[in-house]
Structure 1
Amino acid sequence: MMGKIRKPRILRSRGGSLLMIATLLIGSGVLRLVFEAAPAMAKAEGNKEGTTKPHAADKDMHMAKAGEPAQAMSDRAGLQDMLTAFREREARLTERERLIEERAHALEIADKAVTEKLQALVRAETALRETLALADGAVEKDIARLTVVYETMKPKEAAALFEEMAPEFAAGFLARMRPEAAAQIMTGLSAEAAYTISVVMAGRNAQAPTE
């Protein structure tokens, strides 16, 4: 009888152990599922929160990024204005340099023209002096030749010619003649003509320098 009572106890003890082992295995599986699913759930929750409610730092970064294009556009506009001002100033300087070069070129042309005209005037004056010198020389030669002719003429014939000459002209010839020839011609002149020629000759001598 005692053997029958011990047998069921042994069976109950084995059945309790199996139940406990099964419970532990199930609990371990549940825990494993929980641990494995937790990161995925957290990631999904984070993604969900990121789409619905952005973080404050993300919001600030988004605002900063939104403000960056406006600042960049403002800086770009400022640089463009500076470049435009520089180009306008360069254009003005280029135009001023062009005007200065044109004025300098015009002055150079005018100076060259004035120099050429001055040189032409100098050449013309030199030529005129040479012509006058030649004319004076020719006149002097002609007067000297006529003086010799009048000196070699007979005094009576020469006096007749001097009577018809202008007093200044006749006085010029007589002043060039030898005193003897001039005296003979003066003797053949009328008193009036001789007096007039004498006055002209005396006036020339009076105006001549004494020193």
Structure 2
Amino acid sequence: MARGRDRAAFGGASLIVLCFLGSAALRLGEGGFALAGERAAREAEPAAGGDDALLAALRAREGQLDAREKTLADRAQALHVAEAKLAEQLAAFETAQEGLRETLATADKAAEKDIGRMTTVYEKMKPADAARILDRMDVSFAAGLLSRMRPELAAQVMAGMSPEAAYAVTVTVASRNARVPTE
């Protein structure tokens, strides 16, 4: 039985030796070097090429991200400049608006003062003379003057006006506050 084991061991070992010798023969032969070289090149190529391609793709993506970051930074800077300009313009607008309010208030006071003076002038005139002048005036303006006069003088002036003009002044004065809410 020991002999059977020796044969099997010798057969297995010889088979391994035979495989090594065949491999060596293939490698030593011209075709063997070419096959081994091609295979090594093919195996190395995807790894190296894959790493190079991956590295190149990562660098390209990094470049894109850097460009995008720069674009966003530029936009943010432009936005800050625009916001500052807008704030400056808004401040100038508010200053101009306040100035306009003051000017309008001054103009309103001056106009009110002028109308007050003219009312006094018409009150001091003879009612018949005032009636002749107010008869030819714009109805709204005449109504404004008559509504500011003392009622007894306004009545004397309206009595001297033409009926059409007196009617128009009455309707204008009466309808001024018709649209004002009562509640």
User: Normalised by the size of structure 1, how large is the TM-score?
Assistant: 0.55
C-alpha deviations, 1:2-60, integer Å up to 9, x for none? xxxxxxxxxxxxxxxxxxxxxxxxxxxxxxxxxxxxxxxxxxxxxxxxxxxxxxxxxxx
2:133 maps to 161
Matches within 5 A, 1:61-76: none
SS class of match (2:176): helix
The one of 160, 169, 175 aligned to 1:203: 175
- How far is 1:180 from its partner? 1.4
Is 1:116 aligned to residue 107 of structure 2?
no
C-alpha deviations, 1:69-93, integer Å up to 9, x for none? x9xxx7xx78x94876665554444
Max radius of gyration: which structure?
1
1:173 maps to 145
Distance 1:209 1:180 in 2: 29
The one of 135, 146, 151 aligned to 2:118: 146
SS class of match (1:147): helix
Distance 2:171 2:63 in 1: 84
- How far is 1:96 from its partner? 2.8
User: Normalised by the size of structure 2, how large is the TM-score?
Assistant: 0.62
C-alpha deviations, 1:110-154, integer Å up to 9, x for none? 222222222232223222222222221111111111111111112
Distance 2:86 2:155 in 1: 58
Distance 2:177 2:122 in 1: 22
Distance 2:150 2:159 in 1: 14
User: How many residues align structurally?
Assistant: 143
Q: Aligned Cα RMSD in Å? A: 3.2
Is 1:130 aligned to residue 102 of structure 2?
yes
- How far is 1:106 from its partner? 1.2
The one of 155, 158, 161 aligned to 1:189: 161
- Residues 206/160 of structure 1: CA separation in 2 closer, same or farther (3 Å cut): same
SS class of match (2:117): helix
